[in-house]
Amino acid sequence: MPYKDLRAFLSTLRQAGELVDITRPIALQYDVAKALAKTSALDGPALMFKENGTQFPLVGGLYGNRRRALIAFEATDETIHERVTKAIDNPIGPVDFDGPAPCQEVVLTGEDIDLSKLPVPTYSPKDGGPYITAGIVVSEDPDTGVPDIGNYRFQLHDSKVLGVWAAPSHRFGKNMAKAIARKVPLHGAIVIGVDPMTAFSCQVQSGDTTNDWFVAGGLRGAPVELAKAVTSDLKVPAHAEFIIEFVVDSDDQRDEGPLGEYTGYYTPVSPKPTAKVTAITHRRDAIFQGLLTGKPITENHVLKQIPFEASVLRQLKAQFPTIADVSITSSGGVQVYFVIAMTPRYEGEARQAILAAMALNIHPKWVVVVDPDIDIRRSSEVEWAMSFRVKPREDVFVVDRTAAAPLDPSTDGGYSSTVGIDATRPFGVEFPEVSEVPDWKIFDLPEITPQ
């Protein structure tokens, strides 16, 4: 059975020793981030901050390592990609929640709206202010009405106004651009605290016409229950902890940033549209959620990696069926560095696969193809293949003026270039046999007792 809501997942983590309560007072400014960075570095548990200066507990680090991500998916490293791919191929539509929605047990509108009462951390010393980083934005395409859900950042400007940013290539960014062009208001809702499959579904790479609630239902194996928002016609997850409803105001541009982003660098300050909050609804004993961003590896990268890899594998495998696996590395922000394992069927097919990967919406900067005998999640093995299976003049090429990954500080926001490396053995050419001790992985090493 899928996790019904965030609380069911927290219960599982607690029973597994993967969630620890912090009962001493801790500051939202920097100290929450320090604690999350520390537990991440130690491969430690998620943390629940009970005393954070607000009435709401704050949980962070839920997806801080791959181990907890696999618990969320109820899968293993061997089954995870098949699990996600099968879910994407079998979408399940949402249903309307029957009765008063838990996410609307408390409804705050008008003068009762006060964002400062929420436990929103400031993560990095030079951040422009507190940021909502774990929020899932619900919006609709102004032309088609197709709903989109995705993770976007929001800076607290004051008690009722947020700064909003979305890359122009992302669906929320496209929805804002369409609304501005049509001169119509764009309503949205920030959803905080949902079941893990709904959270992971935001990262699945799909087309602009995809109804993301169907993707979430497929991952859950059950429909997402939705309730109508209070101040718009949007549908929101009925079992969420918090819903922050808003309308985008493109005329009220305010300085937004800096923020330590997924690249590991601060993004510069620039004027961006604002989100005027029209309602805050939540459960009576609601739990807020934070998410650490910054230099890899943070929770931000773990949350993206499995859905990115599985959906990219699905897309590429449809064209190149001998692709065995795809790794989109955390060190590259789960964005710019791809490693593909495949068995080329003909001369040049590895290069064709590289070009197909370059065309993906993720906009990689480095694409390496290796043979399936290489463990693509071990950098030493990939580097070995690049060292001894590559003729640089023949197997390395650069495609210029490719689209840049969002927020890549090495570009000016315009075009970039992408490097392809064919690190497979030369096709149709006899190649030396690998020198390796046989059956060492299954050898039962006798217990060694220290003297």
Of residues 143, 113, 247, the one with CA closest to residue 188: 247
pLDDT band of residue 205 (cuts 50, 70, 90) is confident
CA pair distance 166, 148, nearest whole angstrom: 13
pLDDT averaged over every residue in the chain: 92
Q: Which residue in the block uniquely carries the two structure tokens 């969002």? A: 406
pLDDT-derived band at 170, boundaries 50, 70, 90? confident
Residue 363, sorted as left (phi over 0), alpha (psi -120 to 50) or beta, turns out to be left
pLDDT recorded at residue 451: 54
pLDDT tens digits for range 332-360: 888 899 999 999 999 999 999 999 999 98
Q: For residue 26, which amino acid is it?
A: I
Separation of alpha carbons 348 and 326, rounded Å = 19
d(CA 58, CA 292): 12
What's residue 450's pLDDT?
57
Q: How many CB atoms lie within 10 A of CB 245?
A: 25
In order of their start, the domains of the chain are 6-289 (2.30.110.10), 320-423 (3.40.1670.10)
End-to-end CA, the chain: 50
Report how far residue 335's alpha carbon sits from residue 410's, in angstroms, rounded to the nearest whole number. 14
For every residue of 165-231, DSSP letters joined together read E--TTSHHHHHHHHHHHHT--EEEEEEES--HHHHHHTTS---TT--HHHHHHHHHTSPPEEEE-SS
> Among candidates 220, 116, 209, 128, which has minimal Cα distance to 165?
128
CA dist 351 and 369 (Å) reads 8
pLDDT at 178 over 80: yes
Q: Where does the pLDDT of residue 449 fall: very low under 50, low under 70, confident under 90, or very high at 90 and above?
A: low
Q: How far apart are CA 109 and CA 231, in angstroms?
A: 9
The tens digit of pLDDT for each residue in 20-34 reads 999 999 999 999 999
Cα atoms found within 13 Å of the Cα of residue 434, Cβ hemisphere only: 12
* Nearest CA among 97, 108, 92 for reference residue 227: 97
CB 299 within 8 A of CB 64: yes
Is the distance from CB of 409 to CB of 333 less than 8 angstroms? no
What's phi and psi for 133, nearest 5 deg? -115, -15
Q: Lay out the sheet containing 366-370: strands in order across.
A: 323-328, 337-342, 366-370, 415-423, 396-403
What pLDDT band is residue 416 in, cutting at 50, 70 and 90?
confident
The pLDDT > 70 percentage for the chain reads 98
Residue 413 has pLDDT above 80, yes or no: no
What is the pLDDT averaged over residues 175-201? 94
Q: Is the confidence at residue 209, as pLDDT, over 90?
A: no
pLDDT, tens digit (0-9, with 9 covering 90-100), for 309-332: 998 999 999 999 999 999 999 888
358: left (phi over 0), alpha (psi -120 to 50) or beta: alpha
Q: What is the mean pLDDT of residues 116-134?
A: 95
Contact in structure between 152 and 89 (CB atoms under 8 Å): no
Say if strands 186-192 and 242-256 run parallel, antiparallel, or are unpaired: antiparallel
Q: Is the pLDDT of residue 447 over 80?
A: no
Confidence of residue 412 (pLDDT cuts 50, 70, 90): low
Burial of 440 per CB tally in 10 Å (0-12, 13-18, 19+): exposed
Q: Which two tokens stand for residue 263?
A: 């690249």
For position 227, what pLDDT does the model report? 97
- The length of the chain in residues reads 451
The answer, yes or no, to whether residue 281 has pLDDT greater than 60, is yes
pLDDT in tens, 239-280: 999 999 999 998 899 999 999 988 888 989 999 999 999 999
Q: If pLDDT is split at 50, 70 and 90, which confidence band does 446 have?
A: confident
Is residue 168's pLDDT more than 90? no
Task: Kindly report whether the global pTM for this prediction surpasses the value 0.85.
Answer: yes
pLDDT confidence tier of residue 290, bands split at 50, 70 and 90:
very high
